[in-house]
Each structure stands twice: as structure tokens, then as C-alpha cells.
Structure 1
Amino acid sequence: MRRVVLVFALALLGMPAFAHKASDAYLTLERNGQALRGQWDIALRDLDNALGLDENGDGDITWGEVRARERDIAAYALAHLQVSSAGKLCALEPNGQLIDSHTDGTYAVLTFTGQCPRAGPTLALDYRLFEGLDPQHRGLLNFVENGQSRSVVFSADAPQRIVGDDSGGRLRQFATYLNEGVWHIWTGFDHILFLLSLLLPAVLIRDRHTWRPGASFRGAFVEVTKVVTAFTVAHSATLTLAALSIVVLPSRLVESGIALSVVLAALNNLFPLVASGRWLAAFGFGLLHGFGFAGALYDLGLPTGSLALSLAGFNLGVEAGQLAIVLVFLPLAFGLRATWAYRRVMFAGGSVVTATVAMVWLIERAFNVALWSALASRL
């Protein structure tokens, strides 16, 4: 039992410190004829891996260390981005650098301008940031032209894209945001652990202060349906409100609240205060998770020309990714529900580890400390 719990713990320690997003950079590119203007937000932790920004090795990248390497950062970034118009390369020049905070850490903000020899109907972009260093890295482009914006995603498998008047389309935008929604739920470890913490008891029944195996798959299916539906309705509502800037909450409050929801959901499995009616908890905390989803959507950007369709695509992508998790989990959990491995290892042990890891997230997010890195380095 202890060995299995330790394995779970070590696996979770491999997750990102904020357990919310994979390595992403955010590129905004605006075109006006032959002229380009851009802003590129790149995570300092990723730049440190590539350039070694942390000179004294204390695990804390300071503004002074970033300023000392401004030229190196700009040169490295722009060397991994090519923009072409009408078959000719556009010259890109850095003109400033700032620091900004995202939900998953601190970012260098590189601003630049560009000039294309010829103005064509489209631009061809070749994005190779962190190529060979991080195959999971993605570049999220928000391309703006004539008051309209559209989003494109670069990855190791798709480093080249065409943007411009002839390259868009509402269906393509819908597909892009659908894929982003699936990606976000699958890499959002805090969302996944919250959902699984609520689903783990679905195949069990609380009887006389103990958990025993449920009698029927139908009962487990109904319980899972209630939890998932409540979570979906809640986070869909707040995702929409936040994405449209109707209701906006501070990112630290949202991220801390999400971590707290994981802690409480996992502890409730060990010390049940809410043995039935977990769908109410799913709904209540789902409202908070929706603001977390909106943070990722805000970073990606919503195209002005197909805002509603893109928002719907992202939301449906989240639901599709969530449904895939449930379809894998439920048959497996029901088949194992009467075994020692499920009740003692997956249910009890998994809840202990989840609560512990989520507590670390909560402390980090609430107090802005690097507790996770310190703990991981000692294990």
C-alpha cells in the first residue's frame, strides 16, 4: 500500500508546478499592408531551459537576470520565427521587452516590428521556438488584420501555418478551438484530479461509516451522470461569462480556489461529510473551474469574426475531453470496485496523494511561493 501511494506521489510530482497548462507561448501579430507589429509572451522557465537565465542557480529568475539577457532572449526568439509575404521573408526587429504574469508563471514579453518586401494576401509563418528542447511546446498565435482576429496553434508536428485574408474560415476556427478545449482538459491536471476525486466514490456505497461496492452499473452510471452534468453546466456558464468579460475574477483567487476544491474533494473521500449529493459539490466548484478554463481561453484569444462559434468550440472540446476520461474511468472502476486494489489503493491511497499534492498547489498559488520545486528537489 505504501509503495503504491509513493508511486502515485512521484508520478504527480512530475506534473508542472501550477498543474494547469503545458508549455505555451503567446504570439500576437498584427499586419497593416507591408508593416507588422508583434508581441510574444514566453515563459521564463522555458527560456531558462534554453538560455540558462538563472545565473546564480537559486531557482529564482530575477528581473535583473532577465534584463542582462534581453538581447539573447530577443535573438533566440526571433531566430525561431520566420514570416514570409508573397514568397519573401519579412525582416523582424525587437523594440522592447517587459515582464508579465500569466496563470502559470512569469513571462518575458518581447515586442517587435516587421517589414515585408511585398504585401500579399496571406502570410506564411514558420514557428520553431524550443525546437529540439521541448516537443510538447505550442505557440498560440492571435493574428489581427483589418480589425478582425483569428487564432492559430503551432506545435512540433505543425510548425508552419498560413494566415491572412484567404486562410481563415469559421469552421477552421471552430475546429481549432475544439481541439484547444480537448487539449486543455487533458493537460489540466487540477481539473482532472477534481473530477476523478468526485467520480471515485461513484462505484461505491457509503454504509455504516464504511464504503462497500455498489450493486449495479446502472446506479454508478446515474451517479456519474449527475456529477458530470452538474460540473459541465456550472463551468460552461462561468466560462462564457468570463470569456465575454461579463464577470472577471483575479487569476490568483481562481487558481487557489481550484486547488482548494481538489483538496476538499479528495478529503471528502477519506472523511465523508457529503456521502451523497456530490453533484452539488461538482456544481458549486464547477463554477470556479469555469473561470480557470476562461483563463486559458483568454490567453488563446477569441477571434472577433467568429467569437460565438469559437467559444462554443472550446466549450465542446472541454466536454469531449471530459467525456473521454469518464468513458475510460467508469467501466474500469466498476470492474475493480470490489477489489482491495481499488478500495485501498486507488480510492483511499489515491485520495491521500491527491489531497497532499493539491495542498502544495494551494500554498504555492495562494502565497506565490516555489514550494513545489523545493519539495520535488528533495525527493
Structure 2
Amino acid sequence: MMRSLLTAYLCACALSMALPASAHKPSDSYLTLSAAGQQVDGQWDIALRDLDMAIGLDSDGNGELTWDEVRLRHDAIAAYARSRLKLSSGGAACPLQVTGHLLDDHTDGAYAVLRLRAACAADVATLDIDYALLFDIDPQHKGLLKLQHAGQATTAIFTPDAPRQQLQIAGASKWRQFADYVRHGVWHIWIGFDHILFLLSLLLPAVLVYRDRAWAGATTFRAAAIDVVKIVTAFTLAHSITLTLATLGMLSLPSRLVEAAIAASVALAALNNLWPMFQRQRALMAFCFGLLHGFGFAGVLIDLGLPQAALMLSLVGFNVGVELGQVAIVAAFLPLAFLARHTSFYRKAVVAGGSSLIVLVALVWLAERGLDVQLIS
């Protein structure tokens, strides 16, 4: 009975992770504020696809946004943005105005750029920010803030669980910034479905051995754990290398190529569970494809713009967060998978069935990313 419950749980996890999900970078907005005296100036980059979903920009319904369609909705965009962002200082509101509209390209598409200005009643020492953009329609959305003052920068991340924050204008703690990026790294890996499915595809056979053209249960937990450690270490080392190089601007690849290659890596890793070709080289596979996944992680940090005064600390914090997110996934998966390893249900339904679904989803992602079409997203 216990084994049946365990295998049913593992199967449900595999199936839920393989359900159609967004094939591109999760929804983010980028808010930059600069405080001086009583005035706060800023810029807010919001994806056009998100604004279209929230207030409707595509007037002719052809699925393509033009500059004229966006321009005609400038007032609606400004009103929507002001209703979703409130600033205050010392208990008094700082009325926010949108002073200009631009367009810009990020790694994941076109963004509306709103120029902002707010006037506070007194010199700003602390800034209270109430952020509610898209939270009512997209619970995975995040607002990434950079607050600048006198050459220093403070960062914050707004989520549905943390929509209100108070920031010190001067003397902000670098360790607070480090903690913010750790949290952002954890969140990014947990909602990065392609990264999770790649890792899951490598972990599914970790509690098995391939003999006589069939999977069988591993004999000891130690052997399974060593296999997992090798895979996770290789993946971590690889994506840390390219994450660092890409974020520092030393190496770059086109976003569409990176996204398509990540989708291909997910499909190949899952196919290897169905027709094992690299059963003893999964750690090498994790390293090779982990280099590509590092570019995917870097896309978020490049768009955000790391504060130069604490560049390495923020970069390390984000990477630590990614690793903690991975460890949590492994810690939840490995013991249950080991207990269920001898059941045919695990081998057939979880490994074979789950891997098959992962292949299908990854191939759809590959078509979407390679051909720039929308199928299931």
C-alpha cells in the first residue's frame, strides 16, 4: 500500500511538471527609480504581451502589435500603470505621473517604457513601494526594482507574496541585496519549467540501473545518491560558468538560439530514459547542456541590470538561490523515488510515461522557440 501511494505521488509530480507551460522567460517588469531630495524619477519597462493581456492593445485582433496600436493606448497604459504602483515616504503619498512613452527590446521581446516622476512632501529617506502589476491575472509575475541614490543602488523583488516593501534611500545593506538575489534565484528555478524538466529527466533513472536492455531498481541508496550528486554538481558547475560569463558581458548568444537549445536539451535528456544511449554519461550530459541553461539564467540578470557597486555579490546570491532551489527539488524527489524503484509502476508509468510526456512538451517548446510561433503557451 505504501509503495502504491509513493509511486502514485511520483507519477503525479511527473505529469504535473510535463503539463503545457510557458515556453519563454516568465513574466517580469523592470522598474528603475532614482531619488534626490523630494523628487523620485524613474523608468518602468513592461512587456507589451503583458499589457495586451491586461488591458488589450491589439485593436485589429491579428495577433501582432504595431506602434500605432500601442500609441493609441498610451493613456490607458499610463492609467493602468499608475493604478498598480503606489509610492509614499514618511507616511505621505508621492503622487506618480507618467511623463513619457517609449519602446525597447529585451531578451524576450518588445517592452513599453514608461518615464515616471513622483513628488514627495519632504526629502525622501525611506521609500514605501506598493506594487500590484499583473498579480491579479498572473501569479508568477515579478517586479524587479533597482533604486538608485548618490551612486548607490538597492534592489528588490516584488511578488504576490511580497507586494509591499520599504527601502532605505541611503546606507542600504549589501547583505539585504544578496538575500534578495538568493530569493530571486530560488524563485527562478522553481518557475523555470524547462530547467526543472531537464533536471527531472536526469534524476528519474538515478534510482535505477540499466541491465539487459531494461531498467531495474538500484541496489543501494548510496549508489543512487552518488549518481545524483554527480549530475547536480556537473549541472551546477556548467551553468555557473556561462551564467557568470554572460552576466559580465564576456560571452553572449542570441536569446532565441539559447531558448531553442534548452528545449532540445530537455527532449534529449528525456529520450535518453526511453532509449538509453548515455546511461553512464548522464553527468557529462548535464555538464554540456548545463552550459546552455546558464545563458538562460543570465537572461534575467542581464535585463534587470546588476548594480555595479555589488556586482559579484548579487551574481553569487542569484547563483546560490538557483542551487538551493535545485537541492530542494532533489531532496523531495530522491527518497520517494528510491522507495518506489522496484515497482513496475515507477519504471513504466513514472519513468517511461513521464519521460514521454516531457519529450512531447519539449518538442512543442522547440517548435515555438525555433519558429517563433505560439502553440501551447
> TM-score under structure 1 normalisation?
0.89
Q: Deviations over 1:278-334 (max 9, x none)?
A: 100111111111111111222333223322222211111111110011111111111
Partners of 1:26 and 1:346 lie apart in 2 by: 39
Partners of 1:246 and 1:52 lie apart in 2 by: 39
Partners of 1:197 and 1:36 lie apart in 2 by: 48
Tell me the SS of whatever aligns to 1:71.
helix
Tell me the SS of whatever aligns to 1:371.
coil
Of residues 175, 179, 182 in structure 2, which corresponds to 1:178?
A: 182
Q: Identity across aligned pairs (percent)? A: 55
Matched, 1:232 2:230: no
**Structure 1 residues 160-169 or 225-234, which shifts more?**
160-169
Q: Deviations over 1:89-109 (max 9, x none)?
A: 333322332334444444322
**Deviation at 1:342?**
1.1
Tell me what 1:376 maps to. none
Note closer, same or farther for the CA distance 1:70–1:194 as it changes in structure 2 (3 Å cut).
same
Tell me the SS of whatever aligns to 2:376.
helix
Partners of 1:115 and 1:41 lie apart in 2 by: 21
Structure 1 vs Structure 2 CA RMSD: 2.4
Tell me what 1:151 maps to. 155
Tell me what 2:214 maps to. 210
Partners of 1:343 and 1:100 lie apart in 2 by: 48
**Deviation at 1:145?**
1.6
**Deviation at 1:142?**
0.9
Tell me what 1:16 maps to. 22
| Count of equivalent residues | 368
Note closer, same or farther for the CA distance 1:131–1:256 as it changes in structure 2 (3 Å cut).
closer
Tell me the SS of whatever aligns to 1:30.
strand
Matched, 1:366 2:373: no
Contact 2:266–2:359 (Cα < 8 Å) also in 1: yes
Matched, 1:296 2:293: no
Partners of 2:347 and 2:105 lie apart in 1 by: 41
Partners of 1:318 and 1:115 lie apart in 2 by: 38
Tell me the SS of whatever aligns to 1:175.
helix
Q: Deviations over 1:320-367 (max 9, x none)?
A: 110011111111111111212211111111111111111111111122
Partners of 1:279 and 1:88 lie apart in 2 by: 56
Contact 1:252–1:365 (Cα < 8 Å) also in 2: yes
Q: What amino acid does structure 2 have at the position aligned with 1:198?
A: L
Of residues 325, 329, 339 in structure 1, which corresponds to 2:329?
A: 325
Mapping of residues 234-273 of structure 1, within 5 Å: 234-273=238-277
Q: Deviations over 1:251-300 (max 9, x none)?
A: 22211111111111111111222121210011111111111111122233
**Deviation at 1:7?**
11
Mapping of residues 32-71 of structure 1, within 5 Å: 32-71=36-75
**Deviation at 1:158?**
2.5
Tell me what 1:160 maps to. 164
Tell me what 2:83 maps to. 79
Matched, 1:285 2:278: no
**Deviation at 1:12?**
3.8
Q: What amino acid does structure 2 have at the position aligned with 1:121?
A: A
Q: Deviations over 1:129-154 (max 9, x none)?
A: 23543444321111112122221112
Note closer, same or farther for the CA distance 1:188–1:303 as it changes in structure 2 (3 Å cut).
same
User: Where does structure 1 lack aligned partners over 5 or more consecutive residues?
Assistant: 374-379
Contact 2:99–2:116 (Cα < 8 Å) also in 1: yes
Partners of 1:135 and 1:267 lie apart in 2 by: 32
Q: Deviations over 1:57-78 (max 9, x none)?
A: 4444444332221110111101
Partners of 1:73 and 1:221 lie apart in 2 by: 52
Q: Deviations over 1:143-185 (max 9, x none)?
A: 1121222211122333222223346201211111111111011
Contact 2:81–2:133 (Cα < 8 Å) also in 1: yes
- Higher RCO structure (Cα 8 Å, ≥6 apart): 2
Contact 1:149–1:305 (Cα < 8 Å) also in 2: yes
Contact 1:212–1:338 (Cα < 8 Å) also in 2: yes
Partners of 1:164 and 1:143 lie apart in 2 by: 9
Partners of 1:222 and 1:9 lie apart in 2 by: 26
Partners of 1:289 and 1:256 lie apart in 2 by: 11
Note closer, same or farther for the CA distance 1:115–1:333 as it changes in structure 2 (3 Å cut).
same
Q: What amino acid does structure 1 have at the position aligned with 2:165?
A: R
Mapping of residues 309-320 of structure 1, within 5 Å: 309-320=313-324
Partners of 2:77 and 2:345 lie apart in 1 by: 50
Partners of 2:97 and 2:117 lie apart in 1 by: 5
Q: What amino acid does structure 1 have at the position aligned with 2:185?
A: G
Contact 2:23–2:369 (Cα < 8 Å) also in 1: no
Matched, 1:169 2:176: no
**Deviation at 1:249?**
2.0
Note closer, same or farther for the CA distance 1:161–1:244 as it changes in structure 2 (3 Å cut).
same
**Deviation at 1:88?**
3.6
Note closer, same or farther for the CA distance 1:38–1:48 as it changes in structure 2 (3 Å cut).
same
Contact 1:235–1:290 (Cα < 8 Å) also in 2: yes
